[in-house]
Structure 1
Amino acid sequence: MEISAPQDEVVRLCQDLIRIDTTNYGPDGEGPGEREAADYVVEQLREVGYEPQLFESQPGRASVVLRIPGADRERGALCIHGHLDVVPANAQDWSVDPFEGVIKDGCVWGRGAVDMKDMDAMILACVRHLARTGTVPPRDLVVVFFADEEAGGVHGSQWLVEHHPELFEGVTEAISEVGGYSVTVPTPEGGDRRAYLLQTAEKGIVWLRLRASGRAGHGSVPNDDNAVLHLAQALSRIAEHKWPREYIASVRGLLDGLSEITGTGYSDEDLEELVEHLGGAAGFVRGSLQDTANPTMLTAGYKHNVIPQEAVAAVDCRFLPGHEESLMATIAELAGDRVVVEVEHRDIALDSPFEGPLVDAMKAALLAEDPEAAILPYCLSGGTDNKALSTMGITGYGFAPLRLPADLDFAPMFHGIDERVPTESLEFGAKVLLRLIETC
């Protein structure tokens, strides 16, 4: 009987996963959790003879772990991980049902198609192929499908690292999401060239709650101690602050490489023309040039004619490696003495080298399928579960390989509307990921 290749079933697996609603509403919200999707993953792995482990940090918040022994048990193991949860999707904003997993215009559509049930499907397809063919990877593989990445991993990667560190024994490196996808950029000769962005760094996270207090009163009476005004002034100062730029190694490597490919020069003060060549991915790159602080939620008051005694805002801060203390000091100064700054969640920044055997293997796997492409490092302005793994000394990279059409505005679909991934890109990614697994 002919054994199907990973690319033959990756689209189906992606559709199946999208159809399982795993919306994560954050620490203050309820949601379906990841258990149904985790059970599906377990079923797909058991079907080919594996015996994965399922862990729940609390009811419904489920992660799946599988260790596949390699040929050389003495080598450091590789962790390949994805997350099963997705951010919310308002169906009224979408042109398709975000949880239908429909194929339309050559793409799989739905919440998680980009972040990151596409990579989950590639991982599943590849390890199922290993089992069917009896292939032994060069070193141990620890395959993990985490819960709760979209809320900082408290009930997923962080919980597993804290409560079950034995699962990651011997792991030295890891790969996961938001890297390895292509952008198409112009060349000086008037043509185009694909460049794959291999994620080697990511900014740190601090989710803050700014809490302003004042004197409650009637809306018709002048009030010089208005909590809403105190908060609005603090947010205005934060919004107007010009964060200084710093070009870490991964950012410099990306800019230099992009400049060489496109023939577009740049300076530290003037790089917009160069960055615009990246299309939708330019936003991620702009976010990696300096620390950022963006208000995301506001809560104040309960009636039109009542001045409330408290107003609260959520602020999403991201900092470059080594900048956590300076960012916190700056936010405290900008918030002022009428606003209290509370930390809801914080996590570290990462910076990994764009060299070494694993990086070489990732490059080789991509170039084997797309020989004329360029491969560049970049810093992710967001964060991944590699943060939790790094506390165990595990070096992490973003590598979810996708060869994308030049006209697909891919990066803005992370957490966006009408999220979708081309079926051909999924098939390409499954082939590249399998090649990496078999050679690294």
Structure 2
Amino acid sequence: MTVPSQPAVEQQYAPDAEVVDICRDLIRIDTSNYGPEPGPGERDAAERVAGLLDEVGIASELYESAPRRTSLVANWEPDGVDRDAPPLLIHAHLDVVPANAADWQVDPFAGEVTDGCVWGRGAVDMKDFDAMVLSVVRARARAGVAPRRPIRLVFTADEEAGGSLGSQWLVDQHPELIKDCTEAIGEVGGFSLTIKDDLRLYLIQTAEKGMNWLKLIADGTAGHGSMRNDDNAVTELAGAVSRIGSYKWPDRITPAQQAFLDAISEALEIELDPDTVEETLAKLGSISRMIGATMSNTANPTMIAGGYKHNVIPGQATAAIDGRTVPGGREEFLETITELIGPKVRYEHAVDLPSVETEFAGALTEAMQASLLTEDPGARAVPYLLSAGTDAKAWDRLGVRCYGFAPLRLPADLDFVGMFHGIDERVPTDSLEFGARVLDKFLAIA
């Protein structure tokens, strides 16, 4: 690998100085996303980010797809950048999934620091990266230290519901804001997986599964609950849901997945048997749940509804299916779903977003490896396929090559994957500071 050199920085500054405080500040703004209805704080968070940028002389614009569904876009092109280079898109979302405070050890919107971690909804997904970006940009702006090339900062609403009121809306309504970018970095990548004391793999997201959220609909004949009914919508739906939930999807190994498996094979110094790959991955700890989910298409029933009274057979029943498809797997997925639900149940798309995939190659990925090595001599950047989805699905529509690179050196025993949308979400403060320093080095050479 050719590692680009980092230009000398004349002025001293601390890119990690504010990262913990900014993360806490953003967590305290409840930006829970409940779907199409306005959440309590997306507008407030966007205004807070705008204020933080304005304090260091970076102007931004707010865009609303609907009342209070607010995204922010800023161009940072200070003196000293290479204006012949296309802007690097750095994107992060401001919304979070809801949290039930009764389930948590701490108030999920208090931003507490306990046991060396910042706790709260969004600490991992993804106000940690929001804070890293803002801490680095503010430090550089104050010190007058430019990044290598122009930076396009985008903080979006609605990512947790598929981005239709955030990134997807921006691409549809304001493509000119993004179209001059060729590469992007965002969430769910750059975090460490400890293999041994002197080796940590940093997983760089180069691909993500497609999102096929389906609504199953079974129509039947309504009637009295005491009578026989051979056209019962609930019965038909229950059968379809059961068949989907128990179906074993065949493995479909994509290039990104194969590259990750090759890296694991090399790191563990073992040959991976294709028939026992998932057993081997289990040795990696909680990350195996995420990686295992990328071995194939998946479909999980998540909601079911039907009827309104105990003694009334309803004329219709519905269910929700969270489907995720590997790159190239959408057609097979829909054909299989059609077979599993049978002739009396139909489906509609609630969300239909494609998979995203790019190569782990080029100067940007070399810059990732180089910047990680400045803070962790045992770092090795490797590509992987994400089981979930991000705003990259929107930027990909404009031809932007998207990577997940939100660097975090994590304790080996931390269940990081379990933090995503889980209870007691938290991120170590030293991981946040590490990420800010790595991101600072990255902006100097990317």
Which category of TM-score, normalised to the shorter sequence, fits these structures?
over 0.9
Give 1:364's match in structure 2, choosing from 359, 370, 375: 370
SS in 2 for 1:276: helix
1:323 offset after TM fit, Å? 1.4
Structure 1 residue aligned with 2:248 = 242
What per-residue deviation string (whole Å, max 9, x for no partner) do you get for residues 375-417 of structure 1?
2211000011011001111000000100001111111110111
Q: Which deviates the most, 234-243 or 32-41?
A: 234-243
CA distance in 2, matches of 1:279, 1:198: 18
Cα offset, 1:4, TM superposition: 5.3
Instruction: Classify 1:166/1:111 alpha carbon distance in 2 versus 1 (closer, same or farther; 3 Å).
Output: same
**Which residue of 412, 432, 445 maps to 1:406?**
412
Q: Is residue 181–residue 401 contact of structure 1 (8 Å, CA) maintained in 2?
A: yes
Q: Confirm or deny that 1:274 pairs with 2:284.
A: no
Superposed displacement of residue 258, structure 1: 1.0
Aligned equivalents of 1:380 and 1:132: distance in 2?
A: 36
Larger mean Cα displacement after TM superposition, 132-141 or 258-267:
258-267
Task: Name the CA distance, whole Å, in 2 between partners of 1:306 and 1:3.
Answer: 73
* Partner SS for 1:25: coil
How much does 1:149 deviate? 0.3
Aligned to 2:25: 16
Is the 8 Å Cα contact of residues 3 and 132 (structure 1) preserved in structure 2? Answer: no
Match of 1:56 among 36, 39, 64: 64
TM-score when scaled to structure 2?
0.95
Cα drift, residue 151 of structure 1: 0.6
CA deviation after TM superposition for structure 1 residue 130, in Å: 2.0
Does residue 176 (structure 1) correspond to residue 182 (structure 2)? The answer is no
Structure 2 residue aligned with 1:328, among 323, 334, 350?
334
Q: Is the 8 A contact 1:112 1:419 kept in 2?
A: yes
Residue 105 of structure 2 is aligned with which of 82, 95, 101?
A: 95
Residue number among 279, 300, 305 corresponding to 1:294 in the alignment: 300
Write out aligned runs for 1:23-102 (5 A). 23-27=32-36, 29-69=37-77, 71-102=81-112
1:111 to 121, 136, 149: 121
Q: How far, CA to CA, are the matches of 1:153 and 1:235 in structure 2?
A: 27
Identity %: 55
Aligned pair partner of 1:167 in 172, 177, 190: 177
Task: Describe the superposition over 1:350-369 as per-residue Cα deviations: whole angstroms up to 9, x where unpaired.
Answer: 11111100000011111111
Poorly superposed stretches of 4+, deviation over 4 Å: none
Matched to 1:184, the amino acid is: T
Change (3 A) 1:357 1:4: closer
Structure 2 contact 203–382 (Cα < 8 Å) conserved: yes
Structure 1 residues 163 and 30: CA distance shift in structure 2, 3 A? closer
Write the deviation string for residues 206-251 of structure 1: whole angstroms up to 9, x where unpaired: 1110011111122221211111111010111112222111111111
TM-score normalised over the length of structure 1: 0.96
Find out whether 1:285 has 2:291 as its counterpart. yes
d(CA) in 2 for partners of 1:372 and 1:141?
Answer: 29
In 1, Cα distance between the equivalents of 2:429 and 2:171? 34
- The question of whether the paired residues in 2 share the 8 Å contact of 1:275 and 1:282 is answered with yes
Contact kept, 8 Å, 2:214 with 2:321, in 1: the verdict is: yes
Amino acid of the residue matched to residue 57 of structure 1? S
Deviation at 1:152, TM superposition (A): 0.6
Contact 2:38 2:67 in 1 (8 A): no
Counterpart of 2:8 in structure 1 is none
Q: Deviations for 1:186-219, whole angstroms, at most 9, x for unmatched residues?
A: 4xxxx56321111111011111100111111222
Unaligned stretches of 5+ residues in structure 1: none
Report deviation, 1:33: 4.6
Q: Deviations over 1:84-118 (max 9, x none)?
A: 00001111111111100000110000000000000
Indicate yes or no: 2:141 matched with 1:131: yes
SS in 2 for 1:407: coil
Aligned residues: 434
Per-residue deviation, 1:45: 0.5
Deviations 1:294-315 (A, max 9, x none): 1111111112222111111110
Q: How does 1:141-152 map to 2 (within 5 A)?
A: 141-152=151-162
Check whether the contact 2:29–2:41 (CA below 8 A) recurs between aligned residues: no
Matched, 1:338 2:344: yes
- Corresponding residue for 2:217? 211
Q: Secondary structure at 2:216's aligned position in 1?
A: strand
CA distance in 2, matches of 1:302, 1:3: 66
Give the secondary-structure state (helix, strand or coil) at the position aligned to 2:91. strand
Is contact 2:243-2:340 (8 Å) kept?
yes
Matched-pair contact (CA < 8 Å) for 1:78–1:172: yes
CA–CA separation in structure 1 for the residues paired with 2:398 and 2:179: 9
2:70 partner amino acid = A
The CA RMSD over aligned residues, in Å, is 1.4
1:120 aligns with 2:127: no
The Cα offsets for residues 265-312 of structure 1, whole Å up to 9 and x where unpaired, read as 321111133212321111110111000011111111112222111111
